[in-house]
Amino acid sequence: SWLLPVLRLNRRLRQSERQFRELAENAPFPVAITDRETSCVIFANQRTAAIFRTTVAGLLGEPAINFYENPEDRVKLLAGLEAGKGTVSGLEIRMRGSDGRPIWAMVSAGMIEFGGRAGLVIAFHDITERRAMEDELRRAKNAAEASDAAKGRYLGVLSHEVCTPLNGILGMVDLLKAEPLSPEARDNLEILNGAGRTLLKLVNDMLDFARYDSGRVDLERAPLVLTDFLRELVALFRPAAESKAIALRYVIRPEVPPPMR
């Protein structure tokens, strides 16, 4: 950290304030010093004036509290200095410029002696852009989560609205199956029954995908009876194929293992 060498130099340069001022003025980061008793700014380099969008003269004599968005942050900083034996680093504090512009700064601080007075030296690293990017990512994440929740609610309502009449249709199919029917009518009824149950399974699968997205689904492994699956699939699409004069059939080769029931 930059702070330790600065503090060591401060102890060695107590008799030469001019050298210490030159060191702080030419530091590659904003540096300010406040009087620990009055909390007023007693030194600031040009980089500090730039980050707060003012001049060095505009900073000198100003109470440090004027630059904190939340006064409690300065209290936490001072408490951290007491707990950290005179140094603290890596604090992210929201401050404000002379024009009221919010500034996010990563702050490091230490206790020094400056001009014969007990002082507090603070260095700032402007992280406003980084925090803005983090806020934007957080908003995007929240929006995505809200969208997922809305999608889940929509699918829940959709499934209810579709399943209710569909179950009624399947119930009527079951009643018709008990009636005396011609072989052709019974075959058509079986196709209708299979199509309805396929649609019902599709709706339930949509709900499963919604639950999967929210991490609330348990997957289950189950064997597929290939002959039953192909028979139902062909029966479902045969009417549409025949309407276009297309013959639709399926063949299971002898080397395909028999289904496990």
**What is the pLDDT at residue 170?**
81
Whole-number Å distance between alpha carbons of 105 and 95: 7
Instruction: Output the six-digit token pair for 135.
Output: 């806020």
Beta carbons within 8 Å of 80's beta carbon, 6+ residues apart: 88, 91, 109
Contacts of 117 (CB under 8 A, 6+ apart): 35, 36, 37, 42
Measured in whole angstroms, the distance separating CA 177 from the mean position of its chain's CA atoms is 54
Please report the DSSP string for 200-224 in residue order: HHHHHHHHHHHHHHTT---------
pLDDT at residue 259, as a whole number? 65
Whether pTM > 0.85 for this model: the answer is no
- Eight-state DSSP code of residue 118: E
151-178 pLDDT, tens digit each: 777 777 777 777 777 777 888 888 888 8
**Strand 102-114 to strand 41-44: parallel, antiparallel, or no bridges (unpaired)?**
unpaired
Assigned token pair, 66: 């004027």
Q: Kindly report, residue by residue over 211-225, the tens digit of the pLDDT.
A: 666 556 566 777 777
Q: What is the mean pLDDT of each run of 10 residues along the chain (261 residues)?
A: 57 60 81 90 91 91 90 86 79 88 89 83 89 88 79 72 77 82 84 82 73 63 79 78 84 77 55
